[in-house]
Amino acid sequence: MAQWLREMEDELGTYDYLGRTADHVEDGSIEHLTMDYLMDTNACVCGDPERAIEMFRAYQATGCDMVFCLFNPYKVPHDKVMQTIELIGTKVIPEFG
């Protein structure tokens, strides 16, 4: 994976920050990036629709006007991914329209 990231560094465009991910893969520090850590530091939006709305509002308050959504980390089953997409579309997005 680290080699692939190194090869992609020039092609990542506005996502060039991902190129540094290779450093974390190579030095092993990527192993410390757990769901618990991401949730404890509010680095990801995770939880029920009310929690997601709360977290998106906190991001919005900082001036953030765009988020990248990854619905399938850690091999989440397809039906759960589809449920998440439906909840985001019906419960969360309307709060920001």
- Model pTM above 0.75: no
Task: Answer yes or no: do 51 and 77 share one domain.
Answer: yes
**H and E: helices and strands count for the chain:** 5, 0
42 in the same domain as 11: no
Q: Write out the residue range of the structural domain in which residue 1 sits.
A: 1-33
In the chain, the N- to C-terminal Cα span, in Å, equals 38
- In this structure, the answer to whether residues 60 and 42 fall within a common structural domain is yes
List Cβ neighbours of 9 (8 Å cut-off, separation of 6 or more).
16, 19, 22
27 and 45 housed in the same domain: no
pLDDT score, position 33? 80
For the ranges 23-32, 45-54, 57-66, 79-88, which has the lowest average pLDDT? 23-32
Give the pLDDT confidence of 55-72 residue by residue, as tens digits.
999 989 999 888 888 777
Same-domain pairing of 87 and 49: yes
pLDDT score of 36: 85
- Asked whether residue 15 carries a pLDDT value surpassing 60, the answer given is no
Q: Are residues 19 and 45 located together in one domain of the fold?
A: no
Can you give the pLDDT at residue 28? 87
